[in-house]
Amino acid sequence: MRHQRGLTLLEVLISVLLLSLGILGVAGLQLHALRSSTEADLRTQARLHVRDMIERIRMTPEDREAFEVTENSCAADSLPGGSGFVAAEINNWCRTVANGLPGGRGMISVDGTDIRVQVSWLERAAPDSQDFSQDERERTEYGLDATVRENG
């Protein structure tokens, strides 16, 4: 009777299979972490844009009502018109939102001392979707309400 030494071909194939599955699992986790990091970065950028505009409005209380912007007029392909300081501030902010967020849009509503600033952007398509077109992507929104106190 012969004693078998070393590994059989079947044992080697099973070991390679298990090692491959482990490597695929680690790669999947890395991809998920990268996606989560990108989404967190976009949310942080959105918060910064919203807070920036609220501070711009607070700095010019006499022109507060002039900061009104609809969502459709604050995007990469359409900027609000007008001239003067407020229009320049709005155009600058709209450009920053459009360039800083994928498909970025902004909206500002002012009602007396109440301010609502909102930005939206396009997220990646659903994970199980095979369509990578822009139409398939979901729009994410972030908004903040603030009240400006009157001096006096």
Q: Whole-prediction pTM value?
A: 0.71
d(CA 25, CA 92): 44
Tens digits of residue pLDDT in 66-85:
888 876 678 767 767 666 88
Over residues 107-127, the pLDDT tens digits come to 999 888 888 999 998 886 555
| CA torsion angle 54 56 59 62 (round to 10) | -90
Tens digits of per-residue pLDDT, 6-64?
668 888 899 999 999 999 999 999 999 988 888 899 999 999 999 999 998 888 888 88
d(CA 78, CA 31): 35
Retrieve residue 139's tokens: 């729009």
Per-residue model confidence (pLDDT) at position 136: 59
The tokens of 126 are what? 């659903």
CA atoms of 147 and 56, how far apart (whole Å): 13
